[in-house]
Amino acid sequence: MFRLMAFLLTLISLSVFADQPSEISQLLVIENHQFEPNELIVPANKKIKLNIENRDSTPEEFESHELNREKLVPGKSSVTIYIGPLKAGRYPFYGEFNEKTARGVVVAQ
């Protein structure tokens, strides 16, 4: 039992540390309660580091059920969020606090 656990732990830690793919960064800007760009094209099957910069003075909440993500972006600040690896497809996201105007989509291809 103990050996099995040790083996599993080793396996998990190996998969965590081995072969970290080179990071892909993307910038998403919030201005006047809108996302820029509102269509973000990213490579499929790669982990993406998404930097979100909020240029408005009011806070926003980046949210996407399709991406399974949710994060507050305080006014006049930047936050980072990791998404993916994503299968090719379209993943809509929105700003929860300004749902009417703050809309966008991540396109993985």
Q: Distance from first CA to last CA of the chain, Å, rounded?
A: 43
Kindly tell me which of 6 and 12 has the beta carbon lying closer to another protein.
12
Closest CA to 106 of 49, 31, 33: 49
CB of 49 to another protein, least distance (A): 8
| Parallel, antiparallel or unpaired: strands 103-108 and 39-42 | parallel
CB of 37 to another protein, least distance (A): 21
CB of 38 to another protein, least distance (A): 19
Interface residues with another protein (CB under 8 A) are 12, 15-16, 20, 47, 49, 57-61, 65-66, 68-69, 71-82, 84-85, 96-97, 99-100
* Prior bond of 37 cis (ω within 30°): yes
